[in-house]
Amino acid sequence: MEFKLNFQDSKTKARACTLITDHGKVETPIFMPVGTAATIKGVHQTDLKKDINPDIILSNTYHLYLRPSEKIIEKAGGIHKFMNWDRNILTDSGGYQVYSLSNNTKISEEGVKFKSHIDGSSHVFSPERAINIQKSIGADIIMAFDECPPYPCDYSYVQSSMHLTHRWLDRCIKEFINTPSKYEYNQTLFPIVQGGTYKDLRKRSAEYISSANCHGNAIGGLSVGEPADEMYEMTDLVCDILPNNKPRYLMGVGTPINLLENISLGVDMFDCVMPSRNARNGMLFTIDGTINIKNKKWKDDFSAIDENNYSFVDLNYSKAYLRHLFISKESLGKQIATLHNLAFYLWLVREARKQIINGSFEKWKTITVKRMNNRI
């Protein structure tokens, strides 16, 4: 993977970068739509590519391992061929889902024993197993296997968890180096900074992750219930330690405001289920705040969903029609809302990139955050 720092904002830590894999170019800051089970729920790949137009999307190792299995995906020729997507893909290691979705999880030095949330069957993920599954899936960027402690969590547990994550990383790197690629393109491994909301642990973890000298680095264990100010404090601290010449990925974040604030702290890459999950519940994100389209106030509002026209759906349908779809429980409503929200998120990070390049990011961010902090 190639990485280039194109522009550094002079008033904040925001930056515009480019990373290139064998599946193409990714311009940052970037938001990665989440296709947990090799699909963005309710969105055809054609609409995803032509309308939302992301450089990279995310899928999840835990879910793909359980269904359809990494063997099926490998038999199909890898995840790109399996889901008919010829751009970049990143896979989470599945660690977070093992802890959050599974029953009777048991963590040891060797790895994690867990039961499937689907059928209760027993499974084991070790660092080596997580790497091999991700090699079979075939994403361009794969993640090290880590433990993500809950919030709140006492210092001693977070410290122990952090050291376990570091030891697991050493095993992930060894397995990644020593096992051959299964496809004709290269894969890149990102390690993950942990440490909860404890400054000294975050510092030590960021230093350890930096010393691993991988091609990019991720920040995990945030957006798990902590106040936004604590998230920003941890991100700021970690970004000051992680190397400047490599991409920084903040996992599982967040709201549109979270994105802009963390971009200003030096983060390059984001993913979150929020725009698609909230869309399926009738929440629309806009530059002027959030809309609950199921509210009665929209029942006879025949104006366009969004005059800014982020997605083709925005001018094609009215708020009243979209509300009708939700109230009638028509699946098209969820699809329209998802397309709008994802298109808005992609517009937002790309507009941030333009503002960084133009030297106007700080002023634009301040105005935009105030505009978005509103319920319409």
Q: Is 271 a catalytic residue?
A: yes
| pLDDT at residue 103, rounded to an integer | 67
| pLDDT at residue 228, rounded to an integer | 97
Helix 319-327 and helix 331-358, axial crossing angle in degrees, nearest 10: 130
| Spatial contact of 71 and 102, defined as CB atoms under 8 Å apart | no
| pLDDT at residue 220, rounded to an integer | 96
| pLDDT at residue 102, rounded to an integer | 63
Which residues of the chain register pLDDT less than 50? none
Torsional sign, CA 69, 75, 80, 5: positive
Cis amide leading into 68 (omega within 30): yes
| pLDDT at residue 104, rounded to an integer | 76
Q: Is 119 a catalytic residue?
A: no
Residues of the chain with CATH 3.20.20.105: 2-272
Name the catalytic one among 9, 51, 271, 306: 271
Q: Give the closest residue to 215 by CA, choosing from 250, 192, 190.
A: 190
User: Is this prediction's pTM over 0.95?
Assistant: yes
Task: Give the span between the Cα atoms of 70 and 59, in whole angstroms.
Answer: 13
Beta bridge partners of 32: 271
Reply yes or no on domain 2-272 having CATH 1.10.150.120. no
pLDDT in tens, 215-252: 999 999 999 999 999 999 999 999 999 999 999 999 99
| Spatial contact of 138 and 73, defined as CB atoms under 8 Å apart | yes
Name the catalytic one among 47, 51, 55, 92: 92
pLDDT in tens, 160-212: 999 999 999 999 999 999 999 999 999 999 999 999 999 999 999 999 999 99
What is the signed CA dihedral for 312, 340, 353, 22, rounded to 10 degrees? -80
Task: Give the span between the Cα atoms of 221 and 172, in whole angstroms.
Answer: 19
For residue 8, give every residue at least 6 positions away whose Cβ sits within 8 Å of its Cβ, in sequence order, or none. 14, 15
